[in-house]
Structure 1
Amino acid sequence: MDARFLGIAELAQVPSVAVVVDVMRAFTVAAWAFAQGAEKIVLAGSLDDALALKARHPDWVAVKDGPAAPGFDAVNSPGLLRSFDLGGRTVVQKTTAGTVGALAVKDAELVLCAGFVVAEATARLLRTRASDRVTFVITGEDGRADEDLACAEYIAGRATGAGTDPGAFLRRAAASRAAAELTLGVRQGVHPDDVALCLEVDRFPFAMVAALEGSLMVLRPQAMPSPTDRDPV
């Protein structure tokens, strides 16, 4: 598999297969939303777009980065979102980097959104699709976020069938700028467990596939075989 690792601004053309990585915290939050029962997640292009969707669909759950704000139901924190009952609900998510990255590749043939919590399921889906060339979109810090790059490199290794040990990749993520900012409270809308939750490898047995549904970019979970049924490596 030919893997490329690019920041959002480096996407000169639409890739065939894109894996958009945001470990801390957009796609860890998305995975938790599905685990809490959400049916789908609509990725909003702006805060105004998110609020407009919420206004048209009052039963939808609107999520944003940073502190709580009028019109939004939750913030982009896995530690806080895990207490929500989202059974059958639609979530509208707008974040600084993750949703931006997914919308930047909305015309790709296959778009996966990922973090460590769905790493193996994402790799398995790539192996199932026999993807020859995969573009990993590193969303944080203009493509330099080490937690996102570490996760992308780990998924790429697993997608080739290598018996990749996650330890070194997790240590890089734990030492990242994003992890430090979350731990020190530099960022708002944070739960004390957020970093630990973002570093749980393969917590969930599904990949997350984003696709255009009409004018909306919609993220849905795709169940993959359980870890006990992993392909031989």
Structure 2
Amino acid sequence: MEINIYQFVEGARQAKGLTVIIDVFRAFSAACYVTANGVKDLFPIGSIETAYRLKKENPGFILMGERGGRIQPGFDYGNSPFAVKSVDFTGKTVVHTTSAGTQGIVSAVHADEIITGSFVNAGAVIDYIRMKNPQHVSLVCMGWEAAEEADEDTLFANYVKNGLEGKPNDFEAIVHYLRSDSKTGKFLDVRGDVSAPSEDFDLCLCLDRFPFVLKAERYGEAMIRLAKINVNEWRSIG
């Protein structure tokens, strides 16, 4: 198994094999919380204009996401796990567009398979890759605004790589570094902003909270849907 780590949109375009698009704070943590709360369809979208068009055509759709870290006009939710963790999404369709994470999904055009990655489902991601045992694994760190390296995404990529290679990980040290020493500390400096509540820090670092991966699948002619795959159930079937 060859494992390569890439960055940003250009890295997503280079990715091949089984590809993990990584956005710890916050896109693919929030996506897991929404999925766990019963969402019917979760569509990752690159263009905010497309998101608005889908909402206009389907008024019942829920818009979630951000630009520049801020919830956008007309959106129901930002990109915050705290905002959605207690919301019942049963039977709902969510359109999710962000500055980094969803850009990686739509840009990974050469990947054989795409799943998302965050610490909230890290164990499931590692187990899924082990079970698939692909020749190539691409770990794509989307970073801040898909333009600046984000420590949490790089640390997650190395966490997965270590797990696949049978090397130890020190998650407590990762959390301490992100809280105390990393630029990610600015994550905690926001006060009174519903787009970026400080509670998201712990929610995004709730290790292995979810036993599933989110796999990008084609939906219709031009859409991508994130499908929930419970790794334990998939293991027993496969």
What TM-score, normalized to structure 1? 0.88
Deviations for 1:53-111, whole angstroms, at most 9, x for unmatched residues?
Answer: 11112211110214444321111000111132101211111111001111111442110
8 Å contact 1:150–1:170 — kept in the other structure? no
Tell me: CA distance 1:158–1:52, structure 2 relative to 1, closer, same or farther (3 Å). Answer: same
Q: State the AA in 2 paired with 1:198.
A: C
Distance 2:21 2:112 in 1: 13
Give the whole-Å Cα distance in 2 for the aligned partners of 1:10 and 1:163: 26
- The one-letter code matched in structure 2 to 1:3 is I
The answer to whether the 8 A contact 2:189-2:198 is kept is: no
* Residue 5 (str. 1) matches residue 5 (str. 2): yes
Counterpart of 1:56 in structure 2 is 57
Q: 2:214 aligns with which of 201, 208, 213?
A: 208
1:76 maps to which residue? 79
Distance 2:201 2:132 in 1: 31
| Conserved 8 A contact 1:151-1:169 | no
The percent of aligned pairs where both chains have the same amino acid is: 29
Give the drift of 1:49.
0.8
Q: Which residue of 1 aligns with 2:25?
A: 24
TM-score, structure 2 as length reference: 0.87
* Counterparts of 2:20 and 2:155, CA distance in 1: 13
Moved more, 114-123 or 31-40: 31-40
* Partner residue of 2:188 out of 183, 193, 200: 183
- Preserved CA contact (<8 Å) 2:122 2:207: yes
- Offset of residue 11 of structure 1: 4.7
Cα 1:162/1:182, change in 2 over 3 Å: same
Tell me the amino acid that sits aligned with residue 20 of structure 1: I
More moved, 97-106 vs 162-171: 162-171
> For the residues of structure 1 that align with 2:111 and 2:92, how far apart are their CA atoms?
26
Report how far residue 162 of structure 1 moved: 4.2
Q: Using a 3 Å threshold, how does the CA distance of structure 1 residues 11 and 221 change in structure 2: closer, same or farther?
A: closer
Aligned length: 226
1:143-176: CA deviation from partner (whole Å, max 9, x where unpaired): 6211001011111222334453423333343343
Structure 2 gap segments, 5+ residues each: none
The one-letter code sitting in structure 2 at the alignment partner of 1:16 is: G
The 8 Å contact of residues 12 and 104 in structure 2, kept in 1 or not, is answered as no
User: What is the root-mean-square deviation of aligned Cα atoms in Å?
Assistant: 2.2
Does residue 1:108 correspond to 2:98, yes or no? no
- CA shift, 1:41, in A, is 1.3
Distance 2:121 2:140 in 1: 16
Counterpart selection for 2:152 from 112, 131, 147? 147
Partner of 1:54, secondary structure, is: helix
- Could you say if the C-alpha distance between residues 119 and 189 of structure 1 is closer, same or farther in structure 2, counting changes exceeding 3 Å? same
Give distance in 2, aligned partners of 1:91 and 1:107.
Answer: 26
Q: What is aligned with 2:199?
A: 193
